[in-house]
Structure 1
Amino acid sequence: MRPIIFCDFDGTVTNSDNIIALMKEFAPPEWEPIAEDVLSKRVSIREGVGEMFSLLESKHKEKLIAFLLEHTKIREGFEEFIAFVKENGIPFYIISGGMDFFIKPILEPFDLRDIYCNNAKFDGEFIRIEWPNSCDGDCSNDCGCCKPSIMRKIAGPDDFTIVIGDSITDLEAAKKADLVLARDFLKKTCEQEGIVHIAFETFHDCRAALESTLEVAK
């Protein structure tokens, strides 16, 4: 079976969640109850994230990008992990509930072409989000960037799907994966819901788990 990797961005590739970092730095306090509603599943990810970004003024676009480029830290081992998957011809996809305006600049040094995320528009007073990767007919969770739908579109029936993630936006994808590498919120939720997973903190851990699993699969 061909391994194929679907990897989250915020809090997974990066050490912290960039959306939360932006909200803490630039948004009025109204963002906090919205975020709580998303985590508790009282509102959908698409609705909640859209509402949070609508609190940010479009005129601050360059300031937002500069802030994240200065403060974002890449998780240990990611550069080596990307080299490993490229050397072994393993398809690697970034699938993220984050926004194009900061994901692509942050990932530019790694020469990654396959990135699925949401699009932020700055054509009005406040930021407006477009959702080019919405749920397909098999998902009704109003995900925004629907990771299971993307997986169904890309992976074939004989592919061994690997999900790497940390948050609520990765949960539905984890339920569909053959191998789940999880940390933080996703790890705790996998434990609570009985989803088989391997915990990680660095991408060195991810590589070790991948090598071990693929060796067993052989």
Structure 2
Amino acid sequence: MQWQAIVDFDGTISEKDTTDCVLARFAEPGWEAIEDDWVAGLIGSRECMERQVGLLRASPDAFDGFVESFAIDWGFAFFVRVCQRHGVPVTVVSDGLDRTIHTVLRRAGLAGLPVIANHLEPVGVDRWRLTSPHASRDGSCNSGTCKCSVATSLGRPATILVGDGRSDFCLAERADIVFAKNGLIAHCDQAGVEHRPFSRLAEAARALDDMLTGVVPAAASHHIKDLING
């Protein structure tokens, strides 16, 4: 079976929501009101982040220096090694900021991993612009990064999703194996999506290794067993 692993960044690889941390540090007043509109469902995440990024006031050096301090779940390196051992490509797919993700992964020694996210670029001395090259082309998704479209574009027939929140909801209902934490657990429970809860990525890595080597717990769905057995 040709698997691909899609791993969320904020709250999954990173310990905190790094975009919120950046906004709290560098954004002018008003970003939280925009966030409230997104939480209430009045706007999509793409519009939310475009407007919030317009409020950032930081030089590129100040921005990069700040995000270099962000902590990650170091079990992610273990998860990547497990996937590499089984020939499963890992892609970090996020509705967050590519500049932040690249900076954090580079510091963690994981700079070679492909990253798909919203593109953040500096404009002038301390202003920023956000573009969303991986948004849905047909308007069916209002996220900056449509993870379902990304999964299709990566071209492998079976998808492993590791995520924690709203940007993962749609793909969770299509993926073949789902590892979920935080809000994604509640969504999967409500939607009837088979998933494996986790709190640390090392747990997900060990469980995935068992699945891909055929040591599948009895609680796993028949669908997953069929996929693994070919």
- Normalising by the residue count of structure 1, what TM-score does the alignment of the two structures yield? 0.90
Contact 1:134 1:146 in 2 (8 A): yes
Deviation, structure 1 residue 200: 0.9
**Correspondent of 1:204 among 189, 202, 205:** 202
- Residue of structure 2 aligned with 1:81, choices 79, 82, 87: 79
Q: Structure 2: which amino acid aligns with 1:7?
A: V
Provide structure 2 residue ranges, at least 5 long, that are not aligned to the other structure. Answer: 217-227
Between the aligned partners of 1:69 and 1:104, the Cα distance in structure 2 is: 10
* Contact kept in structure 2, 1:131 and 1:145, CA below 8 Å: yes
Can you list the C-alpha shifts for 1:93-134, whole angstroms capped at 9, x where unaligned?
A: 111112222111211211433211111121256311011112
Query: Does 2:4 align with 1:4?
Result: yes
Distance in 2 separating the partners of 1:37 and 1:180: 29
Equivalent residue number for residue 41 of structure 1: 41
Kept in 2, the 8 Å contact 1:45–1:144? The answer is: yes
2:92 corresponds to which letter in structure 1? I
Give CA-to-partner distance per residue, 1:40-99, whole Å, 9 cap, x none: 322111001111111102x422212111112x1111311122122222211111111122
> What is the rounded CA distance, in whole Å, between the counterparts of 2:117 and 2:37 in structure 1?
21
- Quick check: 1:39–1:168 contact (8 Å CA) kept in 2? no
Q: Name the one with the larger helix percent.
A: 1
**Structure 1: where are the runs of 5+ without partners?**
none
Percent identity between the two aligned chains: 28
Does the Cα contact within 8 Å between 1:164 and 1:181 map onto a contact in 2?
Answer: yes
Contact 1:119 1:129 in 2 (8 A): yes
Name which one, 1 or 2, has greater alpha-carbon Rg.
2
Q: Distance in 2 between matches of 1:43 and 1:147?
A: 18
Q: SS in structure 2 opposite 1:176?
A: coil
CA distance in 2, matches of 1:77, 1:161: 20
What amino acid maps onto 1:16 in structure 2? K
Distance change (3 Å), C-alpha of 1:26 and 1:12: same
Report the RMSD for the aligned CA atoms in angstroms.
1.8
